[in-house]
Chains A and B, each alone.
Chain A
Amino acid sequence: MTKEDTTVPKVFYTQPDGTERVVEAEVGDSVMQTAVRNGVPGILGQCGGSLSCATCHVFLDERHADDFAPVGEDEDDMLDVAATDREDNSRLSCRLVLAAGQEVRVTIPETQL
């Protein structure tokens, strides 16, 4: 097993006011699940990751743009109806599933509802 395989993934959540919180995640969890389980404000994830609420919208740091599967059709539809206008780096954080050793930086939008 390589060193990377055992490294716990980390998510760096930046709030709209610039404050940052780092959370250690479980491999296979999404950025949304990690936020909800750890009480990170600003990510609601109402639908639990079934692409039907748009309340886990985040802006993904551009350095990670290629680390995840591209935006799918359903995700694209939901991003269009998120409460905070989408930008080029918008993602639903339920789609950002974490692998061992991964470090991800996301910014939380002003509002989800």
Chain B
Amino acid sequence: MTTTPGTEYPFAPVPPTEAVKHLGRIIADRPMTKMTMPYGGDVWLVHRNAAAREILSDRRFVREPFRTGERVVPFFVPFPDFLRGTLQFEDPPQHTKLRKLVQKAISPKRVREMRDSAVAFANELIDGMIDRGGVRDLVPEYSLSLPIEMLSNLLGVPSSDREKFERWSSSTLAVAGKSEAEVAADMAELAAYMTDLIAERREEPRDDLLSALAHARDRDETLTDAEILPIAFILIVGGFDNTATFLSTGVLALLSDDEQRARFTADPDGLAATTAEEVLRHGGFATGRPAGGGGGLVPFVATEDVVVDGQLIAKGDAVSIDPSAAGHDPAAVTDPARFDIARPDNPHLTLSHGLHHCLGAPLARMELQVGLAELFKRIPELRLAGEPVFSRDVLTQPMTSLPVTW
């Protein structure tokens, strides 16, 4: 078999600018590539931004066969079982019902109301780092603490239980470094904790998401503990692990680019929103770490033959969106290799799009905006004091350490 030089997919990590060029060549060549995943077989990985949006908005692509176990999720690792029980894997109308319940609790309006407390808490954390001085580790002392506090407020769980959440989260997404028995024990502990809390909120409702879910059951007989638990699980997992990594990545990206950092420190509040979007699109590349091609969001299955951008996706085929490629598609993004924190139009798909767009997107965006702005307002002279560390033991390969000083 021959391949066209420079358009192979997947491809191993290369310097970020080369990766962007490589993605550009693939995008020029074809809208998607069929590849065999380490688990679950073949999947179409979609590179082009417009084709990706079309698929994410088309209800002929569903997730039911993954949820029921009829199909194995084509993925890099065995897909965590508990995630298949979440609303990410539901299709309408059940998806609509569950999503509506959660939606109001993390709506744009609610998140806007949480913004002041996020600013206050970010500043408390910064005060602590300044008091301690020397070299600080930004990940545990800031990037993780901020989203965990926000999530604790939202769910109505005591932030003093933060350490448990970190352990449970890393356990649910563990791909190495923990035995199956350890993971199972952590999951059981998490389920028991949440079940108790839901029961408490049924007795004494508060103004929090768990109370809303617990009492939604009273209004609608069909919402059971079995439905509430996975929602709580995915919020705990998705609620801080990803946001913490985005925040750490954003800080590292700014510390890696003198020009953009100077621009940001000159107007952190004015540039926070566009900077957050640019971090979501290109932050990983802007840190200078080698970038590869072969990533994908959670896949869908085609319920009938569908032609997208000239390519037939046959009934029963799995299809997934490659957000790195979609965020670097020259047809959708001007000068995609440039880290531009004032980029006015940024149609990246890192938080997906359509029916299954990230439920916590408003919260994640707010935390990223506040986290970056407050840090660089208070410590504009922030600089790296060592190499960042990433964990390969967890599905999302989060940044676990980022030494900084000032």
Q: Which of A75-113 contact B (CB under 8 A)?
A: 77-78, 80-83, 111-113
> Residues of B contacting A31 with CB < 8 Å?
none
Give B40 Cβ to nearest chain A Cβ, in Å.
26
Minimum CB–CB distance from B360 to chain A (whole Å) comes to 12
Contact yes or no, B362 A50, CB < 8 A: no
A41 to B112, CA, bound (A): 19
Q: Contacts A41-B344, A48-B56, A48-B57 known; A83 to B109 CB distance under 8 Å?
A: yes
Is A54 part of the contact surface with B, judged by Cβ < 8 Å? yes
* B214 contacts partner chain A, Cβ-Cβ < 8 Å: no
Determine the chain A residues whose CB is within 8 A of the CB of B96 once the complex forms: 52
Q: Which residue of A lies closest to B361 (CB)?
A: A46
Residues B320-374 near A (CB distance < 8 A): 344-345, 347, 351, 353-355, 357, 361-362, 365-366
Are A82 and B57 CB-contacts (below 8 A) given A46-B351, A47-B357, A52-B103? Answer: no
Known: A41-B344, A46-B353, A47-B355. A112 touches B108 (CB 8 A): yes
Residues of B within 8 A of A77 (CB): 100, 104
Binary A-proximity of B54-74 (CB < 8 A = 1, otherwise 0)? 001100000000000000000
Count contacts on B: residues with CB < 8 A to the other chain.
27
Asked whether any CB of chain B lies closer than 8 Å to the CB of A27, the reply is no
* Closest chain B residue, CB of each to CB of A79: B109
In this assembly, does B377 line the interface, its C-beta being within 8 Å of a C-beta of chain A?
A: no
Please name the residue on chain A nearest to B113 by beta carbon.
A83
**Which B residues are within 8 Å of any A CB, using their own CB?**
53, 56-57, 96, 99-100, 103-104, 107-112, 273, 344-345, 347, 351, 353-355, 357, 361-362, 365-366
**Bound complex: CA of A108 vs CA of B39, how far in Å?**
45
Distance in angstroms between the alpha carbons of A53 and B57 in the assembled complex: 14
Bitwise, A22-47 to B at CB < 8 A (1) or not (0) is: 00000000000000100101000011
Query: Which residue on chain B has the smallest CB distance to residue A51?
Result: B96
Complex Cα distance, B53 from A52, in Å, reads 16
User: How many residues on A have C-beta within 8 angstroms of the other chain's C-beta atoms?
Assistant: 21
- Given contact pairs A39-B345, A47-B357, A81-B103, A54 touches B108 in the complex (Cβ within 8 A): yes
Interface of A is mostly: loop
Residues of A within 8 A of B56 (CB): 48
**CB-defined A-B contacts under 8 Å, sample of 18:** A39-B345, A41-B344, A48-B355, A48-B357, A50-B354, A52-B100, A52-B103, A52-B355, A53-B108, A77-B100, A81-B103, A81-B104, A82-B109, A83-B362, A111-B112, A113-B111, A113-B362, A113-B366
5 interchain residue pairs of minimum CB distance: A81-B107, A83-B108, A48-B354, A48-B57, A39-B345
Separation of A77 and B344 alpha carbons in the complex (Å): 30
CA distance A36 to B53 in the complex (A): 11
**Beta-carbon contact of A82 and B355 below 8 Å:** no
Least CB separation from A36: chain B residue:
B347
Specify the chain A residue showing the minimal Cβ separation from B56: A48
Q: In the complex, A39→B361 CA distance in Å?
A: 20
Are B354 and A47 in contact, with the CB atoms below 8 A?
yes
Minimal beta-carbon separation of A26 from chain B (angstroms)? 14
B354 touches A41 (CB 8 A): no
Q: Which residues of A contact B110 (CB under 8 A)?
A: 81
Which residues of B have CB within 8 Å of A46? 351, 353, 357, 361
